[in-house]
């Protein structure tokens, strides 16, 4: 069965500092990969997705993610964090031609002024 | 913009009650999903539907049922609510197919259900 691991439950970062959120998945083939963000009291919003091609994917709000097949990872990065980036971030995997997302446990990001 | 709405943001029910959570989407999407979200566990799929009157079990269907009588509406039913069903429930919808790459799921704001 496929699984998604986000090793960091909480991350605290200073405003203006860089951010990297880790995501590892277990699946035999290359799945479709997603990062979602959930701001307090909100539903999930898609930040970016990967299914083929360039392994560095650009998303909204200045986020990017890099797919590394050899490490089964899809880490999310932002060069300079804003206070509004405080939220919970979820990595998700969708098997090719599947209809089900498997989510990681989430990483909650706190931004210090 | 795709809009997915859920009937309640907060709900408090008693053990043993029958609970209905409603979800409506306005983009004519075939696929709709119900998840529950618990701290540290992320989102887990309860049921999904790929067409009217069609449903499939997700990863944690026990204690839940669903209804999809109209394309835009997908209901989650707790036949007899229990305290371990206290959670955040999120509905999502998605257009069909994978042509051009995977389609994202569009999420509603969630319903926080407390069962006492």
Q: Which residues of B touch A41 (CB under 8 A)?
A: 109
Q: Which residues of B touch A36 (CB under 8 A)?
A: 107
Contact yes or no for A49 and B50 at CB 8 A? no
Q: DSSP code of B103?
A: P
Cβ neighbors of A38 (< 8 A, separation 6 or more) are: A44, A45, A87, A88, A89, A90, A106
A34 contact B CB<8A: yes
| B45 bridge partner residues | B35
Give me the residue from A43, A52, A94 closest to B110, CB to CB: A43
Cβ neighbors of B83 (< 8 A, separation 6 or more) are: B15, B115, B116
Question: Is the Cβ–Cβ distance between B18 and B80 less than 8 Å?
Answer: yes
Pairing of strands A10-14, A107-112: parallel
Report the gap between the CA of B96 and the closest CA in chain A (Å): 9
Residues A24, A105: Cα–Cα separation, whole Å: 11
pLDDT in tens, A57-86: 999 999 999 999 999 999 999 999 999 999
Give me the residue from A51, A97, A101 closest to B105, CB to CB: A101
Residue A94 has pLDDT above 60, yes or no: yes
pLDDT of A91: 96
Residues B8, B31: Cα–Cα separation, whole Å: 21
**Mean of per-residue pLDDT scores for chain B:** 92
Contact yes or no for A49 and B102 at CB 8 A? yes
Nearest 10 degrees: Cα torsion B106, A4, A98, B48: -50
Question: Is the Cβ–Cβ distance between A26 and A41 less than 8 Å?
Answer: no
Cβ neighbors of B84 (< 8 A, separation 6 or more) are: none
Contact yes or no for B107 and A45 at CB 8 A? yes
Residues B100, B80: Cα–Cα separation, whole Å: 42
Question: Is the Cβ–Cβ distance between B71 and B90 less than 8 Å?
Answer: no
Residue B98 has pLDDT above 70, yes or no: no
How many residue pairs bridge chain A and chain B with CB atoms within 8 Å of each other?
59
Residues A83, B104: Cα–Cα separation, whole Å: 26
Pairing of strands A56-58, A32-38: unpaired
A30 contact B CB<8A: no
Count the residues in chain A: 113
pLDDT in tens, B27-54: 888 899 999 999 888 999 999 998 999 9
- The two tokens of residue A69 are 């097949």
Using alpha carbons, select from B110, B102, B4, B94 the residue that is nearest to residue A32.
B102
Contact yes or no for A100 and B102 at CB 8 A? no
pLDDT of A43: 87
Contact yes or no for B42 and A46 at CB 8 A? no
| Residue B20, number of CB atoms within 10 A of its CB | 12
Give me the residue from A42, A44, A97 closest to B98, CB to CB: A97
Give me the residue from B33, B40, B44 closest to A9, CB to CB: B40
Report the gap between the CA of B111 and the closest CA in chain A (Å): 10
Exposed, middle or buried by CB within 10 Å (0-12, 13-18, 19+), for B14?
A: exposed
pLDDT in tens, A6-34: 999 999 999 999 999 999 998 767 788 99
Residue B80 has pLDDT above 90, yes or no: yes
pLDDT of A40: 86
Residues A48, A50: Cα–Cα separation, whole Å: 7
């Amino acid at each position: 069965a496929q699984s998604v691991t986000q090793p960091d439950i909480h991350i605290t970062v200073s405003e203006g500092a860089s951010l990297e959120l880790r995501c590892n998945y277990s699946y035999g083939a290359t799945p479709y990969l997603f990062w979602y963000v959930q701001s307090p009291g909100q539903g999930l919003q898609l930040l970016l997705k990967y299914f083929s091609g360039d392994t560095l994917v650009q998303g909204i709000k200045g986020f990017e993610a890099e797919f590394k097949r050899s490490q089964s990872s899809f880490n999310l990065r932002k060069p300079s964090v804003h206070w509004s980036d405080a939220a919970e971030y979820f990595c998700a995997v969708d098997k090719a031609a599947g209809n089900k997302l498997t989510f990681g446990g989430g990483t909650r990001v706190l931004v210090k002024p | 913009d795709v809009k997915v709405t859920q009937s309640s943001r907060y709900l408090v029910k008693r053990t043993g009650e029958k609970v209905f959570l409603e979800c409506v989407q306005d983009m004519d999407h075939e696929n709709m999903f119900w998840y529950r979200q618990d701290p540290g566990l992320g989102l887990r799929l309860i049921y999904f539907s790929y067409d009217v009157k069609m449903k499939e079990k997700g990863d944690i269907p026990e204690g839940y049922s669903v209804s999809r009588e109209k394309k835009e509406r997908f209901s989650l039913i707790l036949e007899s609510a229990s305290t371990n069903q206290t959670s955040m429930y999120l509905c999502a919808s998605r257009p069909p197919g994978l042509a051009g790459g995977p389609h994202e799921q569009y999420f509603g704001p969630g319903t926080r259900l407390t069962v006492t």
